A and B are shown apart, each in its own frame.
Chain A
């Protein structure tokens, strides 16, 4: 029986064809995904990386809602120019509390992984309200509505923390109980700025030797 007559069997049997496609396409996925999903070093937090606080998490959810990730990456590659421009390159351990990951695929604007602490809160506020007021040639949209909405309205923060705890993020009962109070009086813009200011601060020199970026 040559290859083609064997193949005729497959192409005359619907079940075999379905199974064949499923089997052949699953191989690559399994070989790639299973080791990655079980690799502990990818799940181990860097020394200075901790779960997002209630305010930071809310800011991050606003970042997701406005889809900032389509123009801003959060992934500094281990290249001389990139490290010089943005700071220490990104390590896998810094992202273990990122659900989903926020690395992005496009830099219409600059990378934001180490944006935390580079500009003042006031600068961010001005920039978000009118980007061209601080960066004359900027093509970033303005986000005036963020200043008008209360951070507490962004979503049920208690539920969010509870869900994340179920996914393995080490939140204490106290953190969850105080979550709503933490957001009290803050606008969405405040929360977003808190998130931006903590970005990239989970970096630790100890990570340098760890599995992460490639050279």
Chain B
């Protein structure tokens, strides 16, 4: 029996992708901590171009999103699509190609950013050779994923797969359209769009990369692993159906809220606000679904640190998905735009939601894949509190910094003259940047503890025990 089950699922690739993901997390967060330190002590780039803030920042963002995030999504996507389809991965060799080719793209991409190859489009900084490589690997990812679904033995496609599917399809669309450019040389191209038009296209991409990768993709993780870890079916199937389509429809409109009061047509801005606010509904529908699913599974918390991370990640998901629409409202945005509040908002999502849900999932998955207990539950619990404290400190520091910047920049006196000099406002941010640096260090420390914990768990790896999920009797297994 054991031997047969081992043949069912391809799990080595899941382990490998988790390893890459954790390595990228440590590297990318370290880079983040370093550039946070540069904002406090600007001379610690030592006059080296490759340590300069401008070159390191996209390494941080690309490392987190495409290294840590996408590797985690590939790992969990491959793991869950096999189990929800009751079949092994379609084209396993192609899957391995996707795994390694993606890591190579992220690694070489990071080096190219250090070398100054940079389109300056946020979250799409990599130059055209990488854009082509990304498109190819991404399509292969889609072939493996949808191929597995196509040969499934369970009739319905489980909800988590819709979110992973939306991730693959929509990101492909966004990437291709936004990256259109005419190459000059291997390291340089000029965008197919110019000025205001380019801005609208870029934030259509930028906002929805966040939407379908950092929100949608990770919701796929929630819909599979939350019920799995909690040992309960998802609270409301109907709600998840409605939430999914509303999410896919509404998210795509909201990009222009990144361009309030900028030189783009006003109707585009207004539409962006309305759809951003509407977006709250599907976002929170999923939140309710998750919270209610987990609320009856409390006994599991006693033994499973994974669930703690997931529970907290939902709290921060609730915050980030509320804060976003709020910051899209023009009267808030006029103060918050261009400030560190934006950075705080991004991190309430990236640290509190994406990283926590991923860490929880890894704490759940790695022991099962390794076929042994987690090396140290105490260490995982310590990591939980470090991650919690680090995230809170980060958010609070950036709220204070952002609100101060926004108000001081706009503040005028009774005769209508500016009250404050820009240089003074900038200089007064240093203490907050120091707090943020500490927050990042605390979060990084937790991540390193996890890397150690998971490494020790994987050491001496034994055969994988597989337990296929229960199938709803309403759906017959074709095989």
Residues of A whose CB lies within 8 Å of any CB of B are 4, 7-8, 11-12, 14, 17-18, 21-22, 24-29, 31-33, 36-37, 39, 42-43, 61, 64-71, 73, 75, 77-82, 84-85, 89-92, 94-110, 131-132, 135, 137-145, 155-156, 159-160, 163-164, 166-167, 211-214
Q: B44's closest neighbor in chain A, by CB?
A: A141
Instruction: Let me know if B248 and A80 touch, CB within 8 A.
Output: no
Could you tell me if A81 and B418 are in contact, using CB atoms closer than 8 angstroms?
A: yes
Asked whether A101 lies within 8 Å of B199 as measured between CB atoms, the reply is: yes
CB contacts (< 8 Å) of A36 on chain B: these are 196-197, 200, 264-265, 268
Which 10 A/B pairs are nearest by Cβ-Cβ distance? A95-B195, A67-B54, A137-B427, A28-B252, A77-B261, A65-B116, A28-B253, A100-B191, A92-B263, A107-B338
Give min CB distance, A140 to chain B, whole Å: 6
Which residue of B58, B121, B418 is within 8 Å of A85 (Cβ)? B418
Report chain B residues within 8 Å CB of A212. Answer: 263
The answer to whether B109 has its CB under 8 Å from any CB of chain A is: no
Stretch at the interface among B1-9, B148-156, B370-378, B385-393: B148-156
A105 to B: closest C-beta gap in Å: 6
Whether the Cβ atoms of A67 and B57 lie closer than 8 Å is yes
Contact B416 A214 (CB under 8 A): no
| Chain A, Cβ-Cβ closest to B412 | A81
Give B258's nearest chain A residue, CB to CB: A105
- B289 within 8 A of partner (CB): no
B325 neighbours in A (Cβ, 8 Å): none
CB-CB under 8 A from A108, the residues of chain B are: 39, 426
| CA gap between A79 and B321 in the complex, in Å | 28
- Stretch with Cβ within 8 A of A (4 or more), from B132-140, B182-190, B312-320: B182-190
Q: How far is the CB of B103 from chain A (nearest CB, A)?
A: 24
Chain B positions near chain A (C-beta within 8 angstroms): 38-40, 42-43, 45, 47, 49, 52-55, 57-58, 116-122, 125, 146, 149-150, 155-157, 162, 165-166, 169-170, 173, 177, 182-185, 187-202, 204, 212, 238, 241, 245, 248-253, 255-256, 258-266, 268-269, 271, 275, 334, 337-340, 342-343, 405, 409-412, 416-418, 422-424, 426-427, 430, 433
In the complex, are the beta carbons of A138 and B42 less than 8 A apart? yes
Nearest to B250 among chain A residues (CB) is: A28
A141 touches B52 (CB 8 A): yes
Q: Which residue in B165, B182, B427 is a CB contact (below 8 Å) of A167? A: B182
28 contacts between A and B (CB under 8 A): A4-B241, A14-B149, A17-B165, A25-B212, A25-B248, A25-B252, A29-B204, A32-B253, A65-B117, A70-B53, A71-B54, A73-B338, A77-B337, A84-B416, A85-B422, A91-B263, A101-B195, A105-B342, A107-B339, A110-B422, A138-B42, A139-B42, A139-B433, A141-B38, A141-B42, A142-B47, A145-B47, A163-B189
Residues of A within 8 A of B212 (CB): 25
Contact B261 A213 (CB under 8 A): yes
Q: Are B271 and A214 in contact (CB-based, < 8 A)? A: no
Q: Are the CB atoms of B423 and A135 closer together than 8 Å? A: yes
Q: How close is A6's CB to chain B, nearest CB, in angstroms?
A: 11
Given contacts A18-B169, A36-B268, A67-B55, contact A92 B195 (CB under 8 A): yes
List of B residues within 8 angstroms of A61 by Cβ: 188
Complex partner residue of B120 from A69, A110, A139, A144, CB under 8 angstroms: A69
Most chain A CB within a 10 A radius of its CB, from B248, B256, B343: B248
Contact (Cβ within 8 A) A159 B184 = yes
Instruction: For the complex formed, measure the closest distance between the CB of B445 and the CB atoms of chain A, giving whole angstroms.
Output: 25
Closest to A95 in B: B195
Whether A70 and B57, one on each chain, are in contact in the complex, defined by CB atoms closer than 8 angstroms, is yes
